Amino acid sequence: MIRLPDYIQDDAILTRLWGYSDQPEVTVNGRPVPVTDGTWESAFEDGDVLLADADSRVTLHNVRHGLVILAAGQSNMEWPVRDSLNEDEIRRRLEGKDISWLQVPRILYPGHDSGEDMQWHRLKPDAIGDVSAVGLLATLEVAERTGRPIGLVGCYKGGSSASSWVPEEDLKAD
């Protein structure tokens, strides 16, 4: 059975397409791809992608190959466009750009349910209020220089301890 990471879904902008299968081979739009140690990886064409193995089929819609920018941190990264002084400029600069946004749920502790869905959203100028202003401004700089599709992944939580962002083994060693 084909299984995909949570972030590989409709409207995603990805650098690579990969997943898991308990079968020896999957097909990506009819092209065979070997499964090694339960995982597979494949190039893909922009658009709809049909994944299949002997047990299952998964269709992804409007998947695009592009750059991915990770906006991670605390409150300075979480600051939303709607609270920015240059919101109108950000909206204007977004016109005509192929940028999608994925907000990683802000989990405070193991077992916490933030109520946030992790879903890609194609950014439109009238629907960017909750997006990180810093993250989107950096993404716009890259988009304007490259003309490529860009996926902006928001992974931030204001007020979180800096220790939340450091590997546990590094904290133990300090």
Task: Specify the CATH number for the domain of residue 148.
Answer: 3.40.50.1110
What's the pLDDT score for residue 67? Answer: 96
**Are both 61 and 72 inside the same structural domain?**
no
Asked whether 107 and 154 are in contact (CB, 8 A), the reply is no
**Are both 117 and 147 inside the same structural domain?**
yes
**Are both 131 and 148 inside the same structural domain?**
yes
- Tell whether 42 is covered by a domain: yes
**Are both 117 and 36 inside the same structural domain?**
no
Please state, as a whole number, how many other Cβ atoms lie within 10 Å of the Cβ of residue 23. 15
- pLDDT for residue 167 is more than 70: yes
Full domain range(s) for residue 140? 67-165
**Are both 81 and 158 inside the same structural domain?**
yes
**Are both 61 and 75 inside the same structural domain?**
no
Q: How far apart are CA 16 and CA 36, in angstroms?
A: 16
**How do strand 47-52 and strand 57-65 relate by DSSP bridges?**
antiparallel
What's the pLDDT score for residue 4? Answer: 97
- Local confidence band at 133 (pLDDT 50, 70, 90 cut-offs): very high
- Tell whether 6 is covered by a domain: no
- Tell whether 52 is covered by a domain: yes
What's the pLDDT score for residue 109? Answer: 65
Q: How far apart are CA 139 and CA 85, in angstroms?
A: 18
**Are both 127 and 58 inside the same structural domain?**
no
- Local confidence band at 108 (pLDDT 50, 70, 90 cut-offs): low
Helix (H) or strand (E) holding 77: helix 75-78
- pLDDT for residue 119 is more than 80: yes
What share of the chain has pLDDT > 70, as a percent?
Answer: 95
* Chain centroid, CA 114 distance in Å: 18
**Are both 103 and 44 inside the same structural domain?**
no
- Tell whether 126 is covered by a domain: yes
Side-chain half-sphere of 9: how many Cα atoms within 13 Å? 12
What's the pLDDT score for residue 169? Answer: 87
From the list 126, 121, 137, 122, the residue with the least C-alpha distance to 85 is 137
Query: For the whole model, what pTM was predicted?
Result: 0.84
**Are both 72 and 156 inside the same structural domain?**
yes
Instruction: Provide the residue type at 24 as one letter.
Output: P
- Local confidence band at 103 (pLDDT 50, 70, 90 cut-offs): very high
Q: What is the mean pLDDT of the chain?
A: 91
**Are both 45 and 109 inside the same structural domain?**
no
| Structural domain count, the chain | 2
- Tell whether 171 is covered by a domain: no
* Chain centroid, CA 121 distance in Å: 9
Helix (H) or strand (E) holding 151: strand 150-156
